[in-house]
Structure 1
Amino acid sequence: MSGLKVTVVGGGIGGSAAALALLRAGCDVHVYEQVASKSEVGAGIQLSPNATRLLHRYGLADALGGVAVKPSHVEIKRWDDGRILGREELGRAVEEAYGAPYYHFHRADLLSILTAALPAERLHSGWRCVDVRQTNAGATTVFDDGTAIDSDVVVGADGIHSVVRKVLFGDERPRFSGNVAYRGLARAERLTHLNLEHCATNWMGPGGHFVHYFVSGGRFLNFVAVSEQDSWDRESWNDRGNVADAKRCYAGWHPQIHQILGAVDETFKWALFDRPPLSAWSVGRVTLLGDACHPMLPYMAQGAAQAIEDGATLAACLTGIAPAGVAEALANYETWRKPRTAAIQLAARGNATTFHLVDGVEQQKRDAEMAAWVGLSPRREAIFGFDAERLQPAAPLS
């Protein structure tokens, strides 16, 4: 294989998808993941057409369809009485409008498909990056065992606590959002009496919200139970949770929420962090991707989708580029991506307020706006209709 030699630090969803895009662009790509065996515990993920369109181009349509759930719609419910506040069509309506499906996955299922699509010799597990150095002629990634890997480009896809970001821009702690999430899975057969549809459901109430949807071909119901908390002083950003504690957070909420929680064997508690948009992502031959540069709260269901978009745009910017042109290409990548990801980051942060309104005037105004939703929401066009490979300006979010 000819073309630029690229080192991707981080073998999660964003790094693996970027590697697939870069391989298609003719780059000589290797991915280095710090854990020996990548796993995702009790975590669902939603992928909208702006991301699934790209993954289908990478030849993954059949594999994705085999483990995904295609939700028919998204519905918003009131926290106490279950009244439906709003509904937006997904399913066939979205696929016809945007040429790609909306999917629900278990993260482990999605990650397995992405990594299986990479040639085995290009994915290296158990490699922990400790430094990145560069000259005008190239970049060197240094690992904890002293190994140094030379390449033309280094991509930091190593998450919110990115070592590559720290090397480029210094140490800066992410912002605790004041929100924590209990996450977990319930076997579908334990909930058949609820007659739940294959849709995404978001219960909104004072100080929290509760999301659930099916994953793994419908075998499990994934839930995300978000509540507000003043601080997070643990070193780890996730921890094993207690179902009883989760239930206490939803005292007085609709009985269906408690039935879902009662069907769960274990739950994990996650502190939700983000950052304000960075002023820069790249220095010379080194750049960032996904949560390393734009971590966002999961209230737009766009975190993974934007990382996948990053990889597609990065590959487009590096296509046909000689080593001497790398820095300019990475500057172009950043220019194309930053406005879009910043807008989505800030919109997700705004939803942390919108989703958690106490009953009153603002809540009534929100509910009235949601009640006006009919069919396929035009609010989705700027997100779902975007094609990250085309190097086009992003439309403003409505």
Structure 2
Amino acid sequence: MIQADSETTANGNGSSQVKTEDTAQFIKLPDTASYPTGSLDFLVKLRKEQAQQEAMEKLSLHDRRDKPSRLSLKIVIVGAGLGGLAAAIALARKGHKVTVVEQAPFLAEVGAGIQIPSNSSRLLIKWGLKPYLAAKVVTPESIAFKRWQNGDVIALTKLVPEFQENFDAPYYVVHRAHFHDALYQLALELGVDVILNSKVNNYDENAPSVTVEDGKTYTGDLVICSDGVKSIGRSKVLAGVDQAPLRTGFAAYRATVDVEKMKAHPDTAKLLLVPGLNLWIGEMRHVMTYTISGGKAFNMVLSHPDRSDPAGWVKQSPENILSQMREHFNGWDPTLTKIIDMIDTTLKWPLLSGTPLKSWVASSNKLLIMGDAAHAMVPYMSQGAAMAVEDAAALAEAIDLVDNAADLPEALHIWESVRILRTSQMQEASLINGKLWHFPDGPEQRARDAATRAEVEGRQFTTSANQWSDPTTQRWCYGYDAEAEVKKAWDGRLPSKGISNGH
């Protein structure tokens, strides 16, 4: 029987006194559960909020740094994209000296909108990025999946306030250029040295160092390759045998539409009344849309099958590309096709997906890869950049766990194993969305729509064919704590060789 540790009894004069019992004979109430349950989540959330509040009270408004790591490193990062700058920020906050080497003569992100899901925004807000993004992000209230033919809602994920409350962070959408500039500005504030117009043409994994085209060499204690899907560092990590991402047979048109054009028509203007993501799905195709730039532009990503050689795409005229894009979605929901007709210009991208690599860390333990160089994925879970942010946070945490350089290789391999598992599963989840969304009309499509009907009707459900709504997938995807997972793996690692087998 579970009893209190003490009980109150009345004494002879009417007052009370506390009688203390021997607590050893009573069962202690557990603080956590070993079985799957969400019943204690509110306590975990409360304690996080209390800890965050205490931390905020100790820090000045402009202090973006964390407690310095015990092991201070000089780190060279190749690539100043979203992942490279995220790594620079995470590591600089821990007191490391960070230099970023970038081949572009100036920084500019190609593309349009990007989603920042809760598992990523939680980290970015912790790093201090929110003030740089506040006026630029849009917080969508929901994700509505729509039937290709008429726009009927067939699945619905509520984001506000559900994601903020369940995963301790908002779900944002933003222009890639605004996101990139925010990361750059924060990196500079943290003292990161960003060197532009410096293309790396050689790595020395043992030094470790990188050499750029003008002959200058940058040396550090650790070199991080965040140089994208065409990474030249990846083959160094894989002992000279590259494992490049593969084409999927799909491509995506990316475009934006001025919302003022949409406001001129009642049916298209209706999509702007409440911030939200609208996703039309049909056979082998889908169109993802949402507003960006503080609600001033309507972002569109139009995925379609295409097995032609991307090298030939640049030879096509803009008019021809627009014509092909519209042809792909001929006969779809009239509201959608009306917006597609408003597109003036578009870019076409092949969709690639990597396969899990055997290693992210070179044999020297001084060179590693992260971001798209390590785990390119199709954008169907909107997690590509988020995985790079998680990589960065987990890496900074892994290094923070060690006291000296001798233990660094073990920490890097712990990071590597945790991140390979996480990102390979996200690659798989992204491909599965490509399966779920692209059924032709028929038995599978009807069964999928029936499996998401409860969320549309506001009824309770325990599973969904919509991975954004499915409770199990939600918790795994958006509730993931990249820093905590690395620490857990570190704490649970096997004893070192020096103390194993009784020695």
Interval containing the TM-score (normalised by the shorter chain): over 0.9
Q: CA RMSD in A?
A: 2.1
Cα distance in structure 2, aligned partners of 1:240 and 1:54: 42
**Alignment of 1:298 onto 2:375:** no
Cα distance in structure 1, aligned partners of 2:276 and 2:134: 16
SS in 2 for 1:312: helix
**Alignment of 1:130 onto 2:201:** yes
| Structure whose alpha-carbon radius of gyration is higher | 2
- In structure 1, runs of 5+ residues without a counterpart are none
Which of 57, 82, 92 is 1:13 aligned to?
82
C-alpha distance after superposition, 1:29-65 (max 9, x if no partner): 1111111122223421111111111111111122222
Letter in 2 for 1:330: L
CA contact under 8 A between 1:152 and 1:323: conserved in structure 2? no
In the superposition, relative to structure 1, how do residues 65 and 233 fare at CA in structure 2: closer, same or farther (>3 Å)?
A: closer
Cα distance in structure 1, aligned partners of 2:208 and 2:452: 50
Partner of 1:329: 411
1:281 Cα shift?
A: 0.8
Which of 301, 309, 325 is 1:246 aligned to?
325
**Alignment of 1:279 onto 2:358:** yes
In the superposition, relative to structure 1, how do residues 8 and 134 fare at CA in structure 2: closer, same or farther (>3 Å)?
A: same
1:198 Cα shift?
A: 1.2
Partner of 2:56: none
Instruction: Identify which of structures 1 and 2 has the higher relative contact order when contacts are C-alpha pairs closer than 8 Å and 6+ apart.
Output: 1
In the superposition, relative to structure 1, how do residues 317 and 302 fare at CA in structure 2: closer, same or farther (>3 Å)?
A: same
Alignment: residue pair count: 392
Partner of 1:255: 334
1:93 Cα shift?
A: 1.8
Partner of 2:34: none
1:370 Cα shift?
A: 2.0
Partner of 1:362: 444
In the superposition, relative to structure 1, how do residues 237 and 127 fare at CA in structure 2: closer, same or farther (>3 Å)?
A: farther
Cα distance in structure 2, aligned partners of 1:107 and 1:255: 29
**Alignment of 1:381 onto 2:475:** yes
1:296 Cα shift?
A: 0.5
**Alignment of 1:346 onto 2:425:** no
Q: What is the aligned-residue identity percentage? A: 34
SS in 2 for 1:87: strand
TM-score where L is the length of structure 1: 0.93
Cα distance in structure 1, aligned partners of 2:317 and 2:86: 29
Answer 1 or 2: which has greater strand percent. 1
Q: Which moved more, 1:312-321 or 1:181-190?
A: 312-321
In the superposition, relative to structure 1, how do residues 40 and 181 fare at CA in structure 2: closer, same or farther (>3 Å)?
A: same
TM-score where L is the length of structure 2: 0.74
Cα distance in structure 1, aligned partners of 2:441 and 2:312: 35
In the superposition, relative to structure 1, how do residues 237 and 133 fare at CA in structure 2: closer, same or farther (>3 Å)?
A: farther
Letter in 1 for 2:337: H
In the superposition, relative to structure 1, how do residues 239 and 298 fare at CA in structure 2: closer, same or farther (>3 Å)?
A: farther
Which of 110, 123, 131 is 1:62 aligned to?
131
Which of 226, 229, 232 is 2:309 aligned to?
232
Letter in 2 for 1:304: A
Cα distance in structure 1, aligned partners of 2:405 and 2:218: 16
Partner of 2:147: 78
- In structure 2, runs of 5+ residues without a counterpart are 1-67, 459-468, 490-503
Letter in 2 for 1:51: S
Partner of 1:215: 292
